[in-house]
Amino acid sequence: MAERVEAVRFESGKLVLLDQTLLPSEKVFLQLDDVNDVWEAIKMLRVRGAPAIGGAAAYGLYLGVAGVPDEAGRDAFMARLREVRDYLASSRPTAVNLFWALDRLVGVADRNAGAEVPTLKALLLEEAHAIKAEDEAMCRAIGEHALTLMDGVQSVLTHCNAGSLATMGIGTALAPVYLAAEHGRSIHVFSDETRPLLQGARITTWELDQAGLPVTLIGDGMAATVMRQGRIQAVIVGTDRVAANGDVANKIGTYGVAILAKEHGIPFYVAAPSSTIDFDTPDGASIEIEERDPDELRRLGERQTAPPGIGVYNPAFDVTPAHLVSAIVTEKGVVEPPYETNLRKVVRGA
């Protein structure tokens, strides 16, 4: 297996991001040291995937306060910290990791009430590094747990991208594919193209091809036929937020794939870091769904594909009801229904 591409890292005082809007034609790494550029990178999907967004936001929050003078005093520093936190939180509304990571860093500063500004800066950067290291370990743990569900599975379907480019490790939904390869076993991936931004076509297939892993691209409308032909033994997707009842928000089109999997008797698994499980959100109806630029549907690159003024509905995500989800795979273990009780048991040990 070839070496995977690292999408998020911090080097020499700069946040280094793979610009995923340019894939697959260009492999460009952005070097950011300004919080405004980090906000733009999150908003414009240059970095995407809930864990990767959280990691980028954590480093972005540090960069946003790194320029506060050491002599400014704690009150001025904390005021700036909360201002930057709110600014970065405004970039995208659905991925809970964004808010989780930002609040985690603010919590570090709050708990160190007696620390001077230079110490607070160092603590924030240390916490951002910790989030990255934990994400790497989390991905491997999810992969190990998911593999226990993959006995006899030779091929899986995935939707959007929940691989290494969506995280700071080997991915969530694609983690068992990477780990299987490490053990000398091949799991073939069928990747939906994922309209309208084609994350499956542009990103998942590129990532797996770079890693030397087998992948086949299919159109979004082809999943039912591929399932009926018996080419897929399991579906596994990532998630941007899981509600307390097990409803799952993921890239638009996921709900339809879940319905198809149910119809064809194929298990539908969700790979979910515990940081994406939002116990404060009771169900999927309570999840705010981001709506994006209508031109994402009216155009394909520079080409107009619909009348310029035509009405467009362009939600970035949909919600898959819990009853369609066979299991939720976290770094702490596999969660099976009923999710209202079992999510808390596995994730919180309650």
- Nearest of 303, 311, 307, 318 to residue 259 by alpha carbon: 318
Q: DSSP letters of 222-245?
A: GHHHHHHTT--SEEEE--SEEETT
Name residue 22's amino acid: L
3-state secondary structure of 62: helix
DSSP 179: H
Q: How far apart are CA 116 and CA 332, in angstroms?
A: 36
Q: How far apart are CA 342 and CA 61, in angstroms?
A: 34
- Choice among 240, 247, 278, 318 that is catalytic: 240
Q: Which residue has the tokens 């009842």?
A: 245
Contact 223, 260 (CB under 8 A): yes
- Nearest of 129, 136, 147, 132 to residue 170 by alpha carbon: 136
- Nearest of 154, 233, 229, 238 to residue 194 by alpha carbon: 238
Name residue 7's amino acid: A
Q: Which residue has the tokens 């939707």?
A: 159
| Strand order across the 268-271 sheet | 215-218, 188-192, 155-158, 234-237, 268-271, 327-330, 333-335
Is 240 in the active site? yes
Contact 46, 17 (CB under 8 A): yes
Helix locations, the chain, DSSP H = 35-43, 50-66, 74-89, 96-111, 117-147, 175-182, 199, 205-210, 223-228, 254-263, 295-298, 339-343
CB atoms within 10 A of CB 315: 12
The residues that are catalytic are: 240
